[in-house]
Amino acid sequence: MENYFLILISTVFVNNIVLVRILGLCPFMGVSKKLEASIGMAAATAFVLTLGSGASFLIDKYLLGTDLIYLRTLSFIVVIAAIVQFTEMFLHKVFPLLYQMLGIYLPLITTNCAVLGIPLLIVQERHNLVEALLIGLGGALGFSMVLIIFAGMRERLESADMPQVFRGSAIAMITAGLMSIAFMGFSGLAK
């Protein structure tokens, strides 16, 4: 039990997927200009990342085994793409409101490297299914938290008084770097 709790803390804070592992930077920089859009993206990613981690773990354990390790990347991409498609259809039918809120961000996740990176890390570190799902969920929570915090900061930066040369992407990069340094402070808290 304590172990699971530690995994969650570790993936959300200590090994945060964006700021410490530096994965999934494309949506982090691209979809963080507006708070609303970033919440949509965060929710969609959380959904797919958790499901994708579980499914890729099962594929790796029961289909690929030890002989076909070289098929990992290929088969994970196929599985994640299929999950995104399925999620889109399912949401469209069952939760039309949520579907409209997520909008374009849902299909965009197929090409998100965090979504492929976490399953690959999970199978490398030899976890079991529950741990895999928890790492997926933790990674998704960490991603959502950082994306939403960053979007909030960028909205404020828009109206901040600063030199012309720093405006726009430049200050966003610096902010992201500072956030990353801040998150390094968690290292050592858990493995």
Q: Which residues bind other proteins (CB under 8 A)?
A: 59, 63-64, 67-68, 70-71, 74-75, 78-79, 82, 85-86, 89-90, 92-94, 96
113-124 vs 129-159: helix crossing angle, rounded to 10:
150
**The total number of residues written for the chain in this structure:** 191
Q: Which is nearer to other proteins, 85 or 124 (CB)?
A: 85
> How far is the C-alpha of 176 from the C-alpha of 111, rounded, in Å?
21
Work out how close the CB of 28 gets to other proteins at its nearest, in angstroms, rounded to a whole number. Answer: 27
Q: Which is nearer to other proteins, 99 or 166 (CB)?
A: 99
Work out how close the CB of 115 gets to other proteins at its nearest, in angstroms, rounded to a whole number. Answer: 16
Work out how close the CB of 16 gets to other proteins at its nearest, in angstroms, rounded to a whole number. Answer: 31
> How far is the C-alpha of 59 from the C-alpha of 36, rounded, in Å?
35
In order of 35, 53, 55, 63, 147, the CA distances from 46 in angstroms are: 16, 11, 14, 25, 12
Q: Which is nearer to other proteins, 3 or 70 (CB)?
A: 70
Q: Which is nearer to other proteins, 70 or 164 (CB)?
A: 70
How many helical (H) and strand (E) elements, i.e. helices and strands, does the chain have?
A: 9, 0
Work out how close the CB of 86 gets to other proteins at its nearest, in angstroms, rounded to a whole number. Answer: 6
